[in-house]
Structure 1
Amino acid sequence: MRASLRSLLILSILMGIIPSLFAQQKTKIRFEGANSMKNLNLDEQKLIRYIGNVRFSHEGTRMICDSAYHNPDENWFNAFGNVRINQESSTITGEHLYYDGKTSTGKIDGNNVKLISDDATLTTKTLYFNSKEKSVYYNTPGVITTEDSKLTSLRGYYYDTSNQIHFAGNVVMENPDGKIYTDSLSYNTNSEMAYFFGPTYIFNEQNFAYCEKGWYNKKIEQVSLQYNAYILSKENKVFGDDIYYDKSTKFARITGNAVLVDTVNQAFVYGNKVNFWEDSENAEVSGNPHLVKIDNNDTLYLKADVFKIISKKDTITPDSTHRFIKALHNVKFYRSDIQGLCDSLIYFTHDSIVKMYSQPILWQNENQMTADEITIYSKNKKLNQIDFIGNAFITSVEDTNYYNQIRGKKIVVHFSDGKASKIDVNGNGQAVYFIRDGEILTMANRSESARIFIVLKNNKISKVTFKQKPLSNLYPIKKVEPEDITLKGFSWQPNKRPKDKYDIVPKNFILLPAEKGNEGRLKILNNEDIQHIPFKEESHRVENYAKPGNLKKDKKQDKLNVKGKSRKPLKFKDIER
């Protein structure tokens, strides 16, 4: 995208083309010579007809043609055939020129009107200029070319007094770096600011960008894409109300409904503000940020106050980059097979390891699990192992007011096919579990051991093995006291458990914003004619503020006014040879 935006630099070529056409003084048109001449009286006009190598000059501009009708009194002439206008380094060529020295306005037309200045050329069929207004415009399709760049549009306007250049109607800019298609574009030659309005499509080899309003500051190399803006690349998508980029600092900012999409790993990050540093490939997401990660047929939903996305180069494979996401403060997540909350969390994208800190709580099926620190490992996109380090505690409901409990310095839960199968308790292991006779609860067992191994079947304790210095007590269920079956640190907190994805994401959540310019993008890629969709913000369009004033074409403009009468301009065929 950044490379494509450099296509806007082509706009500055008009700075050298147009100002040279203008002059401040009002002087008589000077006839310099011709092969033959004849005085005529036509429709009460005193005219002079010139034929062959006709030459005029006016305020430093020389005009050459094959033949002309000149009215010295009214200070205008009508020129035909091989018209050429020269002023310093600029040249305009065409088939017909009407020039009014009194108003310093001119119109040159033909099948191939060209305005040439240095290494830039404008080609169109009709060109109007006004030295009094210091303006020029064309209302027939025009093409501006340089050695390696091209700009086309249906209309173009230039105002020297405001240093403004405007292009409107199917504007296309292209160079080796890429192409830009837009509805309307305005450029200020002084501030070097370009504004584009209406559906805008930006292409290069790596990226596609779309917006419906934006600006580009050539001087400091900053760009802003707004209104339904997004950027597509081979592996990523970026959406936002305003996508801003500063090339000098290599810093990007997305504000308003920001969405970052990793299409390869099916990861989606949302927020109201995203800061991105290109050199380090680090990012920060704030403003109700949340993350969605799709794995197989399941989806993880995660939210926090702030996300920090950090990139690290692989020390073994330098071309490879590993990323991890820090979720800070009020962290909560939901997946159908596991839910959790904590104050901070780190997610390593390359191996799907999750680390939870500061009073973390996990829920998995009937189990509530807590510790000082929790680490979650996945394999083949399924739970493989969970480590609970420091004050580890696992709780599940056995029956009303009766809870299975496991406590230790470290607890490791092993999974098979995504389901808990074994629990390994290390250091000061304690366990409370219950024995049934059929469906009836009969006994409570409270055991202690330095190491405890527990086998689970259908999420229920199937076998318990005590490895070191076991101590066990059995209590008849009818005689057991609460303190006999309650381990230190027990806290059952079902109300904190996320119930579904809408505890994480808004009720109106949409996975992916609409790519509103996609239809136009496909038409461009298929080399079809593209009809721009009318932009809602009509007041921002070029035509609504780039008004050409008396340069607007009307029926009277193509007529010669003589003593209050109007007549069509004289044609080349009317000239007697």
Structure 2
Amino acid sequence: MNLSFRYILIIACCFSTLLSYSQKPKRIYIEYSGFTVKDSLKGENVTTFVRSDQGQIHIVHEGVDMWCDKALYYQDQDFIEAFSNVVVKQGDTINMTSKYVEYSGITQLAFAAGDVVLTEPQSVLTTDTLYFDRTKQQAYYKSKGQVVRDSSGTITSQVGRYYMNDSKYRFLKDVVLVNPEYTLKTNQLDFYSETGHSYMYGPSTIVGDSSKIYCERGFYDTNNDTGYFIKNSKINYNNREVIGDSLYFDRNRSFASASNNIKVTDTINKSVIKGHYAEVFRAKDSVFITKRALAISVQEQDSLYIHADTLMVTGKPEHRITRAYYNAKMYKSDMSGKADSIHADHKSGLTQLINLKRFNTGDAFSVKRKPVIWNLGNQMTGDSIHLISDVEKEELDSLKVFDNAFLISKDTLGDGFNQIKGQRLIGLFENNELYNVDIIKNAEIIFYSRDDKDTLIGINKSKSGSINLQFDGPYKIITLLNQVDGDIYPESQFPKNARQFRGFDWRGEEQPKSVEDLFSDDPPLNLPVIKGLDPFVPEEEFFDEALMNRIDDAETKDQSKENKAARQIPKKKEDTSGVKPTISSQPSSSKASIKKKQN
């Protein structure tokens, strides 16, 4: 073997040895201690370190610095116990203080007890006992803890874990976040300390002065006071409850929106609004809802349903106003109607059916143009219609048809139509049934007159200043007033082309006869897909099995009774001055290097 080859071989062996050594984990290193004590009762592999007046004991391992007043170091296990005024620092971001700490240089698992405080840039964690896993960069507690973050508030829970790499907390069991503006309670909360974002899992509530939120999965931005909630979510605004598949909430704007299967309940006015998209402005006392929007005025005897492309409810609780526009319809068991828009004042009991002029040229929402009301076989149309209700009795009181009033009803036996028209119409109701109608100014009538046996007598076509029509069971009593001009004609002598007034428009096929009919001509409904949140982590998976085994191993090391007694948290005075040197009483100002002993 030549000389150069031998040199190469020696260098390679040396490099291999150095590489192997560098890959071995470093042992715990005592940077400084005041006194070093050996006690034969504790064992030959156990060394006691005590602070001096110049400073605390300084311990270093793999980027972690620890200070304490007293320490026990188990060389064979590379394990240390630190007592009294313990401070642990990792880099510039993690700082922990406690009364007692255990740390293994092999597993890099630390256990802290007694007034534990963990501080990171955005929050402060306090608890009685804390586990710190350096390999996973996680800290966790199992016996109640508290996290304080100035901008978000204070969070308490029975179980918690902090993920240092993600600046994330995960809280379990009896989780409570207290903020000056609200209190959040949940089963599980994932909280990101840098952003203030929090994710709730399980039954959760957020209660403020003027609102209460419930959900079983949700997100809340504690910095900006906004939230997104899904799964059985609802928001209570004083006297309003908003339910939907997903809800958005902005506390600063007093605003909420909802998507898919929405229900807004007004408990004071006994009204309900449904749809698939809604916006609620609490400060303005307004609700906007669309996509199959339906307003329900709940009444003991008969509820009123209003449907339109868009619904708006505004006003204080004592004076609510409902506006329905674009293809608006209404339905009661004894009355229904249709118009471009419907305006209902719940305090006065006035409901207006209005057609806007811009829709009078064949707009898709206004094919028939004029508002229309159907009641017990009677169809009434005009340029606008007002319904007046008795709010206390929850009954219809009267109606008014303004301009181009036209009343039509089918003849009881034939295929003809009874018709009355004029400038205005005023109708009176009793028990929600129309019993009296007055047609005022330029009144005209075409009426199929029949006797007691329903035999057709003739067709009455007349004009007068006004006409009064009274309903007496199946009969109609007609009275023509002022300047009567007309006669009764035999059916055979009455031309068919004269049996309908100009502007006649029977719209019976449009009449809603059920709540479902209100949606009969709505366009197809395409609902958005509700996006979910991060997957739920079951409680049994919160502490993984491998990690728990490492904790158990660290806690069940085979030690003598004296060692177990030493692991108890001593009083502060005993920590600082309770140990007398027995072997070495000289202060150690030089660095102490402890060799690793293989287990």
TM interval, short-chain normalised? 0.7 to 0.9
User: Which of 547, 554, 557 lines up with 1:558 in the alignment?
Assistant: 554
- Whether 1:46 and 2:45 are equivalent positions in the alignment is yes
| Pair 1:26–1:240, CA change in 2 (3 A) | farther
The answer to whether the 8 A contact 1:454-1:462 is kept is yes
- Aligned-partner SS, 2:458: strand
Give 1:387's aligned residue: 400
Distance 1:570 1:175 in 2: 45
Q: For 1:391-406, what aligned pairs fall within 5 Å after superposition?
A: 391-399=404-412, 400-406=414-420
Aligned counterpart for 1:140 among listed residues 126, 143, 157: 143
Match of 1:280 among 284, 288, 299: 284
Matched letter for residue 541 of structure 1: V
Alpha-carbon separation, structure 1, partners of 2:73 and 2:103: 10
What's the counterpart of residue 532 of structure 1?
none
- How far the C-alpha of 1:121 sits from its partner, in A, is 6.7
CA distance in 1, matches of 2:431, 2:186: 53
- Cα deviation for residue 261 of structure 1 reads 0.7
The letter for the 1-side match of 2:297 is: K
How much does 1:267 deviate? 0.9
1:371 matched to 2:368? The reply is no
Any idea what SS the aligned residue of 2:166 has? coil
Q: Distance in 2 between matches of 1:56 and 1:460?
A: 108
Question: What residue number does 1:57 align with?
Answer: 58
Q: Give the conservation status (yes or no) of the 8 Å contact 1:149–1:173.
A: yes
Note the C-alpha offset of 1:537.
Answer: 8.9
User: 1:41 Cα deviation (Å)?
Assistant: 8.2
Q: CA deviation at 1:187?
A: 1.6
State the Cα distance separating 1:544 from its structure 2 match.
9.1
Match of 1:333 in 2: 330
TM-score (norm 2): 0.74
Equivalent position amino acid for 1:470 in 2: V
Tell me, yes or no, if structure 1 residue 362 matches structure 2 residue 359: no
Aligned with 2:213 (options 183, 200, 209): 209
CA offsets, 1:466-519, max 9 Å, x none? 13x22121113454333444222223232221122222379xxxxxxxxxxxxx
Q: Partner of 1:257: helix, strand, or coil?
A: strand
Q: Quick check: which one's strand share is greater?
A: 1
- Give me the whole-angstrom Cα distance separating, in 1, the residues matched to 2:543 and 2:567: 35
Query: How many angstroms apart in 2 are the aligned matches of 1:39 and 1:257?
Result: 74
- One of 251, 254, 261 as aligned partner of 1:257: 261
Structure 2 SS opposite 1:540: coil
Instruction: Give distance in 1, aligned partners of 2:489 and 2:511.
Output: 31
Q: Give the aligned partner of residue 151 of structure 1.
A: 155
Indicate the residue corresponding to 1:461 in structure 2. 476
Q: Is the 8 A contact 1:55 1:62 kept in 2?
A: no
* Letter of the 1:78 counterpart: E
Does residue 540 (structure 1) correspond to residue 533 (structure 2)? The answer is: no
Aligned counterparts of 2:285 and 2:204: Cα–Cα separation in 1: 27
Q: Does structure 1 retain, via aligned residues, the 8 Å contact 2:177–2:185?
A: yes
Q: What's the counterpart of residue 93 of structure 1?
A: 98
More divergent stretch after superposition (489-498 vs 145-154): 145-154
Say whether the 8 Å CA contact 2:217–2:533 is kept in structure 1: no
Any idea what the Cα deviations from partners look like across 1:398-425, whole Å, max 9, x if unmatched?
3222322110121111223422232121
* Residue 359 of structure 2 is aligned to residue 345 of structure 1: no
- Percent identical among aligned pairs is 22
What is the Cα deviation at residue 50 of structure 1?
5.3
Letter of the 2:97 counterpart:
I
> Counterpart in 2 of 1:169?
173
Amino acid at match of 2:461: R
Listed one character per residue, the Cα deviations across residues 343-398 of structure 1 (whole Å, up to 9, x for unaligned) are: 32222233232221242221101211111211111113211121112221111123
Q: Which runs of 5+ in 1 are unaligned?
A: 1-24, 314-319, 507-535
Rounded to whole Å, the distance in 1 between the matches of 2:555 and 2:509 is 84
Conserved 8 A contact 1:29-1:75: no
Q: How many residues align?
A: 506
Q: Supply the distance in 1 between the matched residues of 2:561 and 2:39 (Cα, whole angstroms).
A: 20
Query: Offset at 1:116?
Result: 6.8
Quote the offset at 1:433 in angstroms.
2.3
Higher RCO (CA 8 Å, separation ≥ 6 residues): 2
User: Within the alignment, does 1:442 sit opposite 2:457 as a pair?
Assistant: yes
What's the counterpart of residue 564 of structure 2? 571
**Distance in 1 of aligned mates of 2:404 and 2:567:** 104
Provide closer, same or farther for how the CA distance between residues 437 and 559 of structure 1 changes in structure 2, counting only shifts above 3 A.
closer
What is residue 128 of structure 1 aligned with on the other side?
131
Amino acid at match of 2:308: A
| Preserved contact between residue 40 and residue 46 of structure 1 (Cα < 8 Å) | no
Secondary structure of 2:298 counterpart? strand
Change (3 A) 1:505 1:486: closer
- Find 2:243's aligned residue among 215, 239, 244: 239
SS at match of 2:516: helix
Question: Scaled by the length of structure 1, what TM-score is found?
Answer: 0.77
Measure, in 1, the Cα distance between the counterparts of 2:260 and 2:559.
58
Q: Show the counterpart of 1:518.
A: none
Alignment equivalent of 2:80, drawn from 65, 77, 84: 77
- Closer, same or farther: CA 145–219 of 1 in aligned 2, 3 Å: closer
Q: Measured at CA, do residues 276 and 171 of structure 1 come closer, stay the same or move farther in structure 2, by a change above 3 Å?
A: same
**What is the root-mean-square deviation in Å for CA atoms of aligned residues?**
3.7
Q: 1:410 maps to what in 2? A: 424
After TM superposition, give the deviation of residue 212 of structure 1 in Å: 1.2
Q: Does 1:420 align with 2:434?
A: yes
- CA gap of 1:459–1:292, structure 2 versus 1, over 3 A, is farther
**In structure 2, distance between residues paired with 1:392 and 1:262:** 35
| Amino acid across the alignment from 1:220 | N
Deviation at 1:274, TM superposition (A): 0.9
- For the residues of structure 2 that align with 1:553 and 1:392, how far apart are their CA atoms? 87
- SS of match in other structure, 1:350: coil
User: What is residue 198 of structure 1 aligned with on the other side?
Assistant: 202
Contact 2:329/2:518 (8 A) holds in 1: yes
State how far apart, in whole Å, the 2-side matches of 1:463 and 1:91 are: 95
Mapped partners of 2:76, 2:32: distance in 1:
13
Q: Aligned equivalents of 2:59 and 2:462: distance in 1?
A: 109
Query: Counterpart amino acid of 2:204?
Result: T
SS of 2:262's partner is strand
- 1:387–1:220: structure 2 CA closer, same or farther, 3 Å change rule? same
User: How far did 1:170 drift?
Assistant: 2.7
Cα distance in structure 2, aligned partners of 1:574 and 1:274: 61
Distance 1:411 1:56, change over 3 A: same
Counterpart residue type for residue 441 of structure 1: L
Matched residue SS, 1:298: coil
SS in 1 for 2:45: strand
